[in-house]
Amino acid sequence: MVATRPPTLQDVADRSGVSRGTASRALSGGGRVSAETRARVAAVAAELNFTTNSAARNLRRARAGSIGLWLPQGLRFMDYYMNFTFGVVEATNDRELTVSLIPGDFPPERARSLHVDGFVMADVDSQDTLARAILTTGKPVVTSELVPPGMPEPTASVMADHAAATRLLLDRLRDGGAASIVVLIPDIDQMWVQAVHEAAAAWSEEQAVELSFLPLVGVPSATELRRIVDGLMAARPDVDAIVCVPDGLGVGILSTLQELGHAVPDDIQIVSYVDGATLPIVQPPISALDLRPREAGRRAGDLLVSLLEGAPPAAEAGAVATIVETFDLAYHERGSTRQRGDAAGR
């Protein structure tokens, strides 16, 4: 019996009518290769039963074949970060890159030893020493949202337009008749929170609508949330709209208000800054912003992959981010807010 050798990349290239380099880029998902050529090369590779040797390729490129994912400690359970993670994984699926979640208790002094090619980071907190250490590793770092002042700058960032989204949300509440708004806002030093705070304060001054902030530390329990709402309504009986900025609290705010005898939205309108799977199915369904976490994760992952494939120079501590991508958010009007016509009839 005559032994047959396994197919090589050159075999795939010859059968596809392209160069070896083009075949390699087509199969790895990198470089500028047309969709038609990429599909033809993939079909030939499948026909020949050719499989790429990612370990060998990474060795030749001195690559780890993995990217590190950093998420805020204590908040990883939230729907937003789970969907963000799915987006990052989707961005690397066809690039032969694995995604490694960085443990929150990983020693900051060992950040440079992490065997990854680069990092994606979500909502960097200025108080997190591991986040600061990762930003100074010298490896490419893409952050979702900008980093707070005083933190080392990443290689690149993707960010949502929180100022425009906040104004849109508050405009809808005003159109529904809101005259006294309270914003429940997390007490954390993240740039998206600062953007929401600044935009809401500016909107209140411009529109001459009363608006105040109630900072929340951590994630309150049901008992703590009841105490918070009790205290709010006792101190501000004129409140007719609540903006819930932290993820996952909208349903708790709704049920607490209903237990206290307040009708939503007739007495008090509620809107959540972060949409979630439960918000459309409660009664009334809660109006919310879609922060598009999966899209944010995918964009961050795609941007890091493009930096890695472009072989950028190692990022230096203190360097200014050279790339910033922005994207818009979507507002979903539901039953917890009043329409303009409803407000006029009150």
Above 90 in pLDDT, residue 289? yes
Query: pLDDT category, 29, cuts 50, 70, 90?
Result: low
> What is the C-alpha separation between 68 and 304, in angstroms, rounded?
11
> What is the C-alpha separation between 115 and 316, in angstroms, rounded?
18
Listed in sequence order, the residues at least 6 apart from 75 whose beta carbon sits closer than 8 Å to its beta carbon are: 81, 123, 247
pLDDT at res. 2: 44
Query: pLDDT category, 51, cuts 50, 70, 90?
Result: low
Q: Are 104 and 73 in contact (CB under 8 A)?
A: yes
Q: How would you label 88-109 residue by residue, b for 16+ Cβ within 10 Å and e otherwise?
A: bbebbeebbbebeebeeebeee
Above 70 in pLDDT, residue 97? yes
Query: Could you tell me which of 234, 262, 224, 238 has the C-alpha nearest to residue 181?
Result: 238
Helices (H), strands (E): how many in the chain?
Answer: 12, 12
pLDDT at res. 4: 60
**229 or 46: whose pLDDT is higher?**
229
> What is the C-alpha separation between 66 and 302, in angstroms, rounded?
14
Q: How far is CA 297 from CA 59, 188, 190, 300, in A?
A: 27, 21, 17, 5
Above pLDDT 90, what percent of the chain? 65
Q: How many residues does the chain have?
A: 346
pLDDT at res. 56: 46
**50 or 300: whose pLDDT is higher?**
300
Strand 98-101 versus strand 241-244 pairing type: unpaired
| pLDDT tens column, 55-87 | 445 434 556 789 999 999 877 668 899 999 999
Mean pLDDT of all residues in 99-124? 94
Q: Are 183 and 211 in contact (CB under 8 A)?
A: yes
Q: How far apart, in Å, do the first and last CA atoms of the chain sit?
A: 90
What is the DSSP-derived secondary structure letter of residue 325?
E
The mean pLDDT value of the chain amounts to 87
pLDDT at res. 102: 94
- Stretch among 4-18, 206-220, 274-288 having the lowest mean pLDDT: 4-18
Mean pLDDT of all residues in 305-328? 66
Encoding tokens for residue 240? Answer: 């007719």
Determine the angle formed by the axes of helices 293-309 and 79-92, rounding to 10 degrees: 30
pLDDT at res. 342: 65
| pLDDT tens column, 150-185 | 999 999 999 999 999 999 999 999 999 999 999 999
Query: pLDDT category, 313, cuts 50, 70, 90?
Result: very low
